[in-house]
């Protein structure tokens, strides 16, 4: 529901230990969310037991921007959708306000006040919003779109988008490059065998070409012999007639 990641919400700060005059330095880790309510580690950077350079002192709550944008259902079917508000444990610590958004009209506040809301699909798409409140202060707000059954079926039957095709093409390209690299490595390692193989292929080709040339010469000589015989016979006949 909430994107993971986050930014560094704190730097080093003094940390006093009870019954001790030693001032220790701490730094705050990354918040587990980029909006709403999450948790972060408090890390001690000086005075850790056992000579460690860093150690975790405790885990505390952290907050990001209130607006979490548009979320996705935790589960859905062709009949209904299950949505959840932004929250941390314990769930009952916060107050939740669900609203049905309407274009150019005031939102309708729903009676559901729990973190999870199950919605039946209708003939028109719906937009819902959940505000998470802590001590009457909004700490997170997230919106959802509930599509109709027909819209959901169309989305599921839609062909893969350009990103999937691009990933497939890139994968094929990487596989081909790896194959070519392995072929080149094989040729380099077995260069003597490859050279001998191509040498035998070349000699075989030359032998075939020589045989073809000899056959061509033989056929040419055979074609010319019958043509020469009638010429000699004509000369002999002319001499006999004289």
Q: Span 173-194, mean pLDDT?
A: 88
Peptide bond connecting 148 to the previous residue in cis, omega within 30 degrees of 0:
no
pLDDT value of position 139: 92
pLDDT value of position 70: 93
In angstroms, the CA 75 to CA 84 distance is 10
Q: Of residues 209 and 98, which shows the higher confidence score?
A: 98
Question: 93 in helix, strand or coil?
Answer: helix
CB 75 within 8 A of CB 47: no
Q: Is the pLDDT of residue 217 over 50?
A: yes
Among 36-50, 63-77, 192-206, the range scoring the smallest mean pLDDT is 192-206
For β-strands 137-146 and 67-70, DSSP reports them as parallel
Please classify residue 92 by burial: count the beta carbons closer than 10 Å to its beta carbon, then call 0-12 exposed, 13-18 middle and 19+ buried. exposed
Among 68-72, 89-93, 168-172, the range scoring the smallest mean pLDDT is 89-93
CB 135 within 8 A of CB 127: no
pLDDT value of position 209: 64
Q: Would the pTM count as exceeding 0.95?
A: no
pLDDT value of position 128: 94
Please classify residue 78 by burial: count the beta carbons closer than 10 Å to its beta carbon, then call 0-12 exposed, 13-18 middle and 19+ buried. exposed
- DSSP 8-state assignment for residue 6: -
- Condensed to tens digits (0 to 9), the pLDDT of residues 10-19 reads 445 554 444 4
Residue with tokens 């580690």: 41
The CATH number for 67-157, chosen from 2.60.40, 3.30.70, 3.10.110, 2.40.10, is 2.60.40
Question: 52 in helix, strand or coil?
Answer: coil
pLDDT value of position 188: 87
pLDDT value of position 219: 59
Q: Is the pLDDT of residue 205 over 50?
A: yes
Domain ranges within the chain, ordered by starting residue = 13-63, 67-157, 161-195
Residue with tokens 């003939």: 123
Please classify residue 112 by burial: count the beta carbons closer than 10 Å to its beta carbon, then call 0-12 exposed, 13-18 middle and 19+ buried. middle
Percent of residues, the chain, with pLDDT higher than 90: 27
- Which residues sit opposite 140 in a β-bridge? 132
Q: Span 123-152, mean pLDDT?
A: 91
- Condensed to tens digits (0 to 9), the pLDDT of residues 147-175 reads 988 888 887 776 655 667 788 888 999 99
Among 33-37, 60-64, 85-89, 204-208, the range scoring the smallest mean pLDDT is 204-208
CB 99 within 8 A of CB 119: no
For 45-198, strand residue ranges (E) read 55-63, 67-70, 75-76, 80-84, 95-101, 108-109, 116-120, 126-134, 137-146
Write out the two tokens for 123. 């003939």
Residue with tokens 């005075």: 47
Q: Is the pLDDT of residue 124 over 70?
A: yes
């Amino acid at each position: 529901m909430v994107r993971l990641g986050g930014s560094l919400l704190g730097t080093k700060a003094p940390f006093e230990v009870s019954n001790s005059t030693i001032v220790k330095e701490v730094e705050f880790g990354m918040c587990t969310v980029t909006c709403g309510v999450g948790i972060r580690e408090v890390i001690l950077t000086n005075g850790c037991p056992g000579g460690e350079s860093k150690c975790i002192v405790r885990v505390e709550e952290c907050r990001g921007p209130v607006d979490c944008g548009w979320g996705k259902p935790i589960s859905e079917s062709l009949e209904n959708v299950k949505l959840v508000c932004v929250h941390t444990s314990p769930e009952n610590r916060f107050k939740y306000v669900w609203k049905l958004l309407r274009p150019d009209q005031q939102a309708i506040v729903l009676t559901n006040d729990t973190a999870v809301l199950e919605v039946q699909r209708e003939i028109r798409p719906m937009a819902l919003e959940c505000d998470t409140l802590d001590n009457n202060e909004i700490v997170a707000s997230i919106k959802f779109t509930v599509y109709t059954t027909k819209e959901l079926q169309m989305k599921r039957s839609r062909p893969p988008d350009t990103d999937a095709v691009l990933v497939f093409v890139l994968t094929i390209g990487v596989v081909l490059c790896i194959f070519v690299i392995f072929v080149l490595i094989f040729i380099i390692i077995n260069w003597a065998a490859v050279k001998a193989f191509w040498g035998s292929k070349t000699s075989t080709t030359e032998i075939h070409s020589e045989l073809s040339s000899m056959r061509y010469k033989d056929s040419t000589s055979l074609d010319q012999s019958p043509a020469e015989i009638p010429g000699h016979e004509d000369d002999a006949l002319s001499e006999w007639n004289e």
